[in-house]
Amino acid sequence: MAKPSTPDARPSAEVVPLRPVRPCPICKKPSLRAYYPFCSKRCADIDLGRWFSNAYAIPGSDEDNGSDDGNPPEKGG
Ligand SMILES: [Zn+2]
């Protein structure tokens, strides 16, 4: 019995996903994988800062009571 010698030469097809690079939402630069979806740690921090800013700014909880302790006015002079 003679085995049919089949050539094991497969064409190396490079599968490249056609995925468009999303620009950084902060500065619109092409994002890096390391900081996806941002382009750098700086932009990631900026976005994080914005997020926290919104989280801290809670509407309705703006209590600002002026301390009326009757402090004497500063005398210049
Ligand atoms: Zn950026």
pLDDT, position 7: 66
* Distance of CA 50 from the midpoint of ligand 1 (Å): 14
Q: What is the pLDDT along the chain (77 residues), one digit of tens a residue?
A: 666 666 666 666 676 666 677 899 999 999 998 999 999 999 999 999 998 888 876 666 555 555 566 666 777 66
Domain-wise residue ranges, the chain: 21-56
Q: How far apart are CA 44 and CA 68, in angstroms?
A: 42
SS3 of 30, please? strand
Q: Which residues surround ligand 1, an ion (CB under 5 A)?
A: 24, 26-27, 29, 39, 43
User: In angstroms, rounded to a whole number, what is the distance separating the alpha carbons of residues 47 and 28?
Assistant: 13
For residue 49, report the phi and psi dihedrals to the nearest 5 degrees. Answer: -60, -40
**Cα–Cα distance for residue pair 14/39, rounded to 1 Å:** 26
CA of 16 to the centre of ligand 1 (A): 25
